[in-house]
Amino acid sequence: MATELIRIPGSDFQTEEMILNLGPQHPSTHGVLRVVLKIDGEVITAAQPDVGYLHRGTEKLAENRTYPQMLVISDRWDYLSAMSNNLIWCLAVEKLLQIEVPLRGDYLRVIMVELNRIASHLVFFGTYGIDIGAYTPFLHAFREREKILDLFEEVSGARMTYNYIRIGGVMADLPEDWIGKCRSFLEWIKPRFVEYDILLTENPIFKDRTQNIGIISKEDAISYAITGPNLRGCGISFDLRKDEPYCHYQDFKFDVPTGKQGDCWDRYWVRIQEMKESVKIVEQALDHLPTGVPNAKVPRIIRPPVGESYAQLEAPRGVLGIYCLSAGEDKPYRVHVRAPSFINLTILQKILVGMKLADVVAILGSIDIVLGEVDR
């Protein structure tokens, strides 16, 4: 971008806009994102995010991988909530195969995905605190996350790339005492949410830093296809778990928290409330966990018939979708990932304009992107 000379009316004093590069490496822990800012003094006049540093070519890789092999790759899109990625791939393939997962499998999937939602929002909570300058909530959030990751390690063997949700169900049924541990974790985390509210959510300095900045209006949210907590922070109550239920989500009672104004504080608040709702969902799923086999009968070599499917679910970051074209072989013909962070990031170009330089990090953090998903 070329800089322009700005004439300040009423004086023959010329100032030039400065181009500031918020480079691929910066202390806000969001990954390799580059934002090129044009600033005039303290106010931003233009912003252009530059992505692609983490592009690994999953859509091209998909054309040479069998359907179960793609599960391994799917973990790495939004690596903070890998269960959701696994689930969406399985939903897309199960649609093509037209098989139905038994109820127990669905409930196990819901438990894992909701626990992962809590873990992912805890990372958001911690890193957003650091962006604003509060260093302590980060460590408290990660202490909670360790417990969730311990649960996941018992169930799937891994802490980040779970590969637990498989085509037709899940990898294996729960270990013996997992439900007890999960319940004790849920009891442990409920008072922590009260602590977080006192520490950060109601903190006047935090509110001062995050309210009334980065406001996304409802029209902008819809036309820029913003989804997830960003959309709900604007006041539009659209949650795929309620509006287009998948995996038997209609069996669970939970609320969809919605913000009022669309500023950074509302988006933050929506995520904190979502964590509490996820705890409710996991409790209900554990209470009503049906018995039986969690997996459906799936052929050894997965060769879906010719066709196309589009599946979407409510990932912690937004609406995650997969559009899969099958040509009747054991490898997909075309896979496209509708990544929520990629599409949510476009609105940064609009909402940063007119903001002060000190607010950039707060606004960027509140959109909650994961570069693995942005670049795929």
Partner 1 sequence: MNNSEVYAVLRTQLPGLSEIPPPPMPVAMPAHEAKPYRDPYLYVQAVPHEWIETAKIIKNDPRLAFDFLIMLTAADYVLPMGNVQPRFDVIYHFYSFQHKHKLFVKVSLPRDNPLIPSVISLWPAADWQEREVYDMFGINFEGHPNCTRILMWDGFPGWPLRKDFVHVPDRYDD
Partner 2 sequence: MIFPVLTQSQKRSIGVLALMGLIGGGTAMAIGELGMRLTQIWEFLLPILQKLPIPEMASQIAGMVIECSLLIGFISVSVMFMVWWERKVSAHMQSRLGPMTTGGWHGWAQTIADGIKLILKEDIIPESANSWVHRLAPVLVFVPAFICYAVLPFGSNLIAVNLDIGVLFIFAISGLSVLGIVMAGWGSGNKYSMLGGLRAAAQSVSYEIPRVLSIVPILLFVGSLKLTDIANYQSGMWFGFIPRWFIFYPVIGQIAFIIFLISSVAETNRTPFDIAEAESELVAGFHTEYSGMKFSLFFLAEYAYVFLSSGLTTALFLGGGSGPLLPTWVWFLLKSFGIVFLFLWFRWTFPRMRVDRLMEFTWKFLMPWSFVNILIAGAVVLALGV
SS3 115: helix
Query: Would you state the structure tokens that stand for residue 158, as one six-digit string?
Result: 């891994």
Q: Which of 53, 142 has the CB closer to partner 1?
A: 53
209 lies in the binding site for partner 2 (CB under 8 A): yes
Query: Do residues 211 and 264 make contact, with C-beta atoms less than 8 angstroms apart?
Result: yes
Least Cβ distance, residue 331 to partner 1 (angstroms): 13
Q: Could you tell which of partner 1, partner 2, none binds residue 10, using a CB distance below 5 to 8 A set by kind?
A: none
Give the whole-angstrom CA distance, residue 151 versus residue 159: 9
Sites for partner 2 among residues 120-159 (CB under 8 A): 129, 131-136, 138-140, 143
**Alpha-carbon dihedral 131, 136, 142, 143, rounded to 10 degrees:** -170
368 lies in the binding site for partner 1 (CB under 8 A): no
SS3 4: coil
Give the helix/strand (H/E) hosting 196: helix 178-196
203 lies in the binding site for partner 2 (CB under 8 A): yes
Give the whole-angstrom CA distance, residue 216 versus residue 371: 21
Give the whole-angstrom CA distance, residue 141 versus residue 63: 38
Q: Could you tell which of partner 2, partner 1, none binds residue 36, using a CB distance below 5 to 8 A set by kind?
A: none
348 lies in the binding site for partner 2 (CB under 8 A): no
200 lies in the binding site for partner 2 (CB under 8 A): yes
Give the whole-angstrom CA distance, residue 55 versus residue 148: 28
Q: Could you tell which of partner 2, partner 1, none binds residue 359, using a CB distance below 5 to 8 A set by kind?
A: partner 2
37 lies in the binding site for partner 1 (CB under 8 A): no
Give the whole-angstrom CA distance, residue 85 versus residue 73: 9
32 lies in the binding site for partner 2 (CB under 8 A): no
Considering all CA atoms of the chain, what is the largest pairwise distance in Å, rounded to the nearest integer?
80
| Residues of the shown chain interacting with partner 2 in the complex, contacts defined by CB under 8 A | 20, 22, 26-28, 129, 131-136, 138-140, 143, 191, 194-195, 198-200, 203, 205-206, 208-209, 356-361
* Contacts with partner 1, residue ranges (CB under 8 A): 51-52, 55, 57, 59-60, 95-98, 222-225, 236, 238, 243, 303-310, 312, 319, 321, 323, 325, 327-328, 333-334, 336, 338, 342-343, 345-346, 350, 375-376
